[in-house]
Amino acid sequence: MKKSILLLSIMFLVMLSGCNTNTDNTDEVEKNQENTTDISEEIAGYIFIDGDKLYVDEVEIIENSDKERMEELNINDSDFPNGYYIYNPTFEADEYKITDDTAYDFVDFNLYYIDENEADGDRRYRTNNIDEFIKGSSYREELPLEQQTIPYIIELHGEDVYCIKEELLYTQ
């Protein structure tokens, strides 16, 4: 009887350890950010990274369910081929500071950081490593800010960038 319980316990522990197979750096990112949970602002925009500076041309992302805003802008359902509309009437570059604690959430399309067998379909990856973001995300570092076409969600803590998020919907 004791051998059966011991064997079942070992099997249970092995099964539990297999549940956490994602090899991303989420734990490290969360540990680095545990004292910065106060997000002061969240914006959407096109981005350009230059060293520890993030330049953002802020945009408004409108969903086709926002009929009031659609009417204000005189846009209709045909302006939403992907389910959203990006409103950017003027180009304006705002500057923010990237820190060592900045998190980067993106879709690892090319499976640079997520094993194909563990991808679970969404391929979401989180890291504090800016080089991993530049290599694995849809961001194109060779394009100036004026030519960027994919909006990102940027979480700010004052002038510091808390997180840059790539959303799959906007990469299409």
Instruction: Name the strand (E) or helix (H) holding 42.
Output: strand 41-50
Calculate mean pLDDT across residues 46-63. 97
Residue 169: pLDDT above 60?
yes
> Which residue in 23, 12, 14 sits closest to 117, CA to CA?
23
Amino acid at 36: T
Report angle CA 120, 123, 126 to the nearest 5 degrees. Answer: 120
pLDDT of residue 116: 80
Residues sharing a CB contact under 8 Å with residue 102, sequence separation 6 or more, in sequence order: 128, 130, 160, 161, 162, 163, 164
Torsional sign, CA 131, 156, 32, 152: negative
- Fill in the amino acid letter for 78: S
The residue type at 167: E
pLDDT at 157 (0 to 100): 95
- On the question of pLDDT at 14 being above 60, the answer is no
pLDDT at 37: 53
Report yes or no on whether pTM surpasses 0.85.
no
